[in-house]
Structure 1
Amino acid sequence: GVEKEAAAAASIVVWLITFAACSLAGVPLLIHEGLSLGKLRELAEHEKEAASESAAQQGDSAQ
């Protein structure tokens, strides 16, 4: 086996590398598409509201 501390450290490093790679690729693509973090947040809110309405309608039709 591997020591818990070494395993935790390795997993954190791998996560940081993965996160950084996605961010470095994602931010330029976000800018290229003309989006911002605020716009993404707004889109996510609209999707959340639509999903809630859809779930409520499905719940009403099931009764």
Structure 2
Amino acid sequence: MKTLMRGRTSFVIAHRLSTIQEADKILVLKDGQIIEQGNHESLLADKGFYYDLYQSQFSKKAEEA
């Protein structure tokens, strides 16, 4: 996917956060409103809604392993 999007502006809509981790800018939507924006690292550091989603998705994977 990285190769496909290189040098282009791309919009990716995803439920799996692993799909968008390397995006330059992530917009977090809730009930049709942008509630957070930033890159993966800054959104995790803010410990908001994105952080909670990330923890719920990846803590399940760690438990399954």
User: Which has more radius of gyration?
Assistant: 1
- In the superposition, the TM-score normalised over structure 2's length comes to 0.28
Higher RCO (C-alpha 8 Å, min separation 6): 2
Structure 1 length normalisation: TM-score? 0.29
- Relative to its length, the structure with more strand (as a share) is 2
